[in-house]
A and B are shown apart, each in its own frame.
Chain A
Amino acid sequence: MSNLTQFGNDLYTGKKSVNFVGRRKLWYTIAIVSMIISIAIPVIGGGFNFGIEFRGGSQFQITNTQTIEQDLAQEAVDEVVAGEVVRVTTVGDNGVRVQTDQLSDDETREVASALAAAYGVTEDDVATSFVGPSWGADITDQAIRGLVVFLALAAIVMALYFRTWKMALAAMLTLAHDLILTAGVYALAGFEVTPAAVIGFLTILGFSLYDTVVVFDKIRENTAELGADSRSTFAEAVNLAVNQTLVRSINTGVVAALPVAAILFLGAFALGADTLRDISLALLVGIIVGTYSTVFIAAPIYAHLRENEKDISARDRRTIAAREAAVE
């Protein structure tokens, strides 16, 4: 702790300072390259692996099984509907999930009892579901509509609160970066895109902006204090604010990521709950990327957008001139 506290002290006074704003070209390059990679991953990898909610079909989930042998499922389905393409996955260490194309009601019942017999469980342990092909698309349509409305409202609220639309713009650009990267990692992990994953993405929207607002509020505070006789340029004031909130950013990132990581590794891999796994992967990546991007992308973009404003650039020139005069 003492190290991080000491680090925080030095950051606060400016004894130590990471030049987030000044080295923006480096951060921009990293951001653009990683975004290109994120877009390339699903393109090269053949697109996202859409879940049954998007494809449509029938699904059987068997719990409390004695064995997780996957051939049993194929055989059981073949008994009822020969030649059916079956996707079998194991869930945790005593669950099996079987997905097929859409089956009729009678077939569904027969497959369920065949599976129960094959895995030595009662039919109560076989959950069946059927999803029309439009369900996932439907939930996504709604989600996208929600997203657009939310982004518009959030941009307005931020522009009003900070009294500059440039902060809103910087936050939105950062958000786009976060979403693209998260989607890329999701595609890389090869997880199925389910409605739960969509929920995860929507939460990242909230988190990414939330984190940006916290840091921007400090920037607002610091830059508002800049007067005509200020001794630091606009970019330096922004940079100090980011440095002063850096310990907060680290702590928040860790604290937000810990429970999500717990869901991902415990809830999903060890215990086997798909919904939790899909949400938490999207969230974990989103939290890490969201925390990183606020510091490395949002703040530099904001400084970049503002420092060419007439008033600010004039004041910065005066500040620098005064500083040089003092040195001489």
Chain B
Amino acid sequence: MALTTTGKKARSTPVKKAWRSLIWLMVIIAGLTATTAGGVLFSTASWTPRLALDLEGGTQIILQAQLGEGESISTEQLNQAVSIIRQRIDASGVSEAEISTQGAQNVVVSLPGVPDQATLDRIESSAKLEFRPVLYTDAASVASVGEEGDAASPSPEASDPAAAPLEATPSVSPTDASDLNWITPALFDQFTNFDCADSDTLGANVAPVDQPLVTCDDTSTAKFILGPVEVAGENISDATNGLVTNAQGISTGTWGVNIVFDGTGTDQFAAVTERLFALEGAQNQFAIVLDGRVISAPTTNAVITDGRPQISGSFTQDSSKALADQLKFGALPVGFEVLSRDTISATLGSNQLASGVIAGLVGLGLVLVYSLFQYRLLGLVTMASLVVAGVLTYLVLALMSWRQGFRLSLAGVAGLIVAIGFTADSFIVYFERIRDELRDGRSLPGAVEAGWKRALRTILASKGISLLSAVVLFVLAIGNVRGFALTLGVTVIIDIIVVMLFTHPMLQLLANTRFFANGHKLSGLDPQALGAIYRGRAQFREPVRTAKGSGASREAARRQTIAERKAAGTITAPADTPPEKSVTSSAPSKGKDS
């Protein structure tokens, strides 16, 4: 193997294998470190795993889709809801909000700090889609379109028409929604002073369905005075995007959005188009308003009586799809209700993190003490393995924070602490198997190899069950349970990697040191203390037999004869040669140097 850097003298196979495994482990750690470092330098990664709200402080709102009996919400619909909510939050200038779906019908909104009431209201209100006729339009006067986030200080005079001294009720009662009499001096003043950047923050772009509305389009480039609502979003039964065809049914190569209204919508839309078609200029347009913002304001080219209008224009495939989705889902088929709202202060979060970390360290310390007590110096291998597992886990969590949006929650911390015990169990299973093999009279290197084979099978089977529980919980559960399952699953996998690529190779190497191979009293693998049957020079004492449990002892005896046969074939240690040279492996094929 090109990777191994064996010394001058040829090493036995287990030692070579051990070095190879350790090098692989180094490669994995180096790879993870390099990836994280690259992420930190060139992207948004961080050296520390990102913390969830319960540790960092902030507000988490869980919204649940309101479903009637037998109703269900598709993943597509849920994702649409997420993007709508994201638009709303972005519009309110809150940065670093995280919105995600959870389970089959929940949307989780995580905000840093404590958001103001307006932001909360915005998130919690359900999306509203409506069709309004355009009365008047103009380019937005605001120059700094992108600075929505700075518009925190409201200027109430501009947004509150009631406060204006101007005439606020139409002097002539409007006859229909397109009647320009809707535009009162007060409304026009509001329109003139209307700043698109403020519109969302102030909640100014909200008007009753029977009243005109002043608002901007969703890119804040144009502002509108709109008449009362003509058709509500609920009356859209479907919206799709597709290539526009001409009268002969031949594709024109441009994209359009096809809307299908239900019965009520068809009648209402027919009336609107009939009226708008006769009008000119801005009044010929109707505006599609989503949550108070105009997402599209097409002109009316025909009277649509079949309830199946097509919106065409300068669409790309993507933009037509986006509009179709907004039309279809904009007025969400289901409303959302707030399931829980949790605000954690930053102090509480850091307190909880500190508690978790202290508890974890104390737990680790106790495990070390117990391991040293039980396994003497072998306990240090346990500790080193746990440290390696800890390093790997930390790197993986940091990477997952970067790539997968993982956030470490308190439940996750608990999962990590619990994992200390579960991980240490792999080593215990392995060490006990080695001791069993030593008791059977094998030499240490032989016991390590034979014990490993049996232990690995047990470890894989049992860890498989653990992994299965983590995966099932992760897939099916929601909320905290997920974070917990994820950390548990990650630690199980890392546990297996560590025991294969670190603990076992370390023991293979240690088995060839004089200290361990000679079974020093402090090594934890002292054959004398273990009551090994092997007495040197291929002599084995008779196994102890007692009347009690005689079947069991016979069973043990039977196993010993197998061990004897194997051991006798390979163990030829004369007292005057160091064991590490002569004793290599219990496998039938002898080591090269023996």
Enumerate chain A interface residues (CB-CB to B < 8 A): 1-2, 4-6, 8-10, 12-17, 19, 53, 61, 63-64, 92, 95, 105, 124-132, 134-135, 138-139, 142-143, 145-146, 149-150, 153-154, 157-158, 161, 195-196, 198-199, 202-203, 205-207, 209-211, 213-214, 217-218, 221-222, 225, 230-233, 236-237, 239-240, 243-245, 247-248, 251-252, 254-263, 266-268, 271-273, 275-276, 279-280, 283, 287, 319, 323
Contact = CB atoms under 8 A, between A and B. Distances in A.
A9 B439 contact: yes
A28 B550 CA distance: 25
Contact of A143 (B356, B432, B457, B477): B477
Contact of B470 (A196, A206, A213, A222): A206
A298 B454 CA distance: 21
A256 B546 CA distance: 34
Contacts of A247: 432
Nearest to A266: B359
A108 B434 CA distance: 62
Nearest to A124: B345
Given A63-B348, A262-B359, A1 B373 contact: yes
Q: Which of B346, B373, B428 has the most CB of A within 10 A?
A: B428
Contacts of B422: 207, 210, 256
A271 B358 contact: yes
B32 interface: no
A8 B435 contact: yes
Contacts of B530: 5, 8-9
B160 interface: no
Nearest to A92: B351
A240 B556 contact: yes
Nearest to A156: B468
A204 to B, nearest CB: 10
A261 B359 CA distance: 9
A193 to B, nearest CB: 14
B555 A237 contact: yes
B374 A4 contact: yes
Interface string B337-370: 1111111111110011011101110111011001
A69 B355 CA distance: 23
A14 B552 contact: yes
Contacts of A142: 103, 476-478, 481
Given A273-B355, A323-B551, A252 B435 contact: no
A196 B462 contact: no
B46 interface: no
Nearest to A53: B340
A63 B454 contact: no
Given A5-B529, A276-B359, A13 B367 contact: no
9 contacts: A14-B546, A127-B345, A132-B64, A154-B465, A205-B469, A214-B462, A237-B551, A259-B367, A261-B366
A251 B348 CA distance: 36
B555 A222 contact: yes
Interface string B523-551: 00000011100000000000110101111
B344 A256 contact: no
Nearest to A211: B462
A15 B545 CA distance: 6
Given A150-B469, A260-B363, 19 more contacts: A9-B531, A17-B552, A63-B351, A125-B348, A129-B340, A135-B62, A146-B481, A154-B469, A161-B464, A202-B484, A232-B552, A232-B555, A239-B549, A252-B421, A258-B421, A259-B420, A260-B421, A262-B363, A287-B421
A139 B553 contact: no
Interface string B391-408: 000000000000000000
Contact of B64 (A134, A233, A267): A134
B556 A258 contact: no
A19 B339 CA distance: 53
Binding site secondary structure of chain A = helix
A278 to B, nearest CB: 9
B414 interface: yes
B339 A150 contact: no
B29 interface: no
A169 to B, nearest CB: 15
B497 interface: no
Given A105-B120, A263-B359, A258 B462 contact: no
B479 A273 contact: no
Contacts of A8: 432, 435, 530
Interface in B449-471: 454, 457-458, 461-466, 468-470
A275 B531 contact: no
A13 B556 contact: yes
A267 B359 contact: yes
Nearest to B422: A256
Contacts of A158: 465
B376 interface: yes
A138 B478 contact: yes
Contact of B356 (A13, A19, A256, A276): A276
A212 B453 CA distance: 20
Q: Which of A15, A125, A129 has the most CB of B within 10 A?
A: A15
A237 B549 CA distance: 10
Interface string B413-438: 11101101110110011001001100
| 5 closest cross-chain pairs (CB), A and B | A259-B363, A256-B421, A232-B551, A14-B552, A14-B553
A112 to B, nearest CB: 9
B417 A260 contact: yes
Nearest to B436: A12
A149 B461 contact: no
Contacts of B362: 262, 266
A161 B461 contact: yes
Contacts of A225: 555, 558-559
A255 B421 contact: yes
B443 to A, nearest CB: 18
Contacts of A232: 551-552, 554-555
B414 A276 contact: yes
Contact of B355 (A138, A211, A248, A267): A267
B555 A198 contact: no
A263 B552 contact: no
B424 A275 contact: no
A214 B429 contact: yes
A17 B548 contact: yes
Contact of B370 (A64, A206, A254, A276): A254
B117 interface: yes
A61 B348 contact: yes
A272 B418 contact: no
B52 to A, nearest CB: 11
Contacts of B568: none
B192 to A, nearest CB: 34
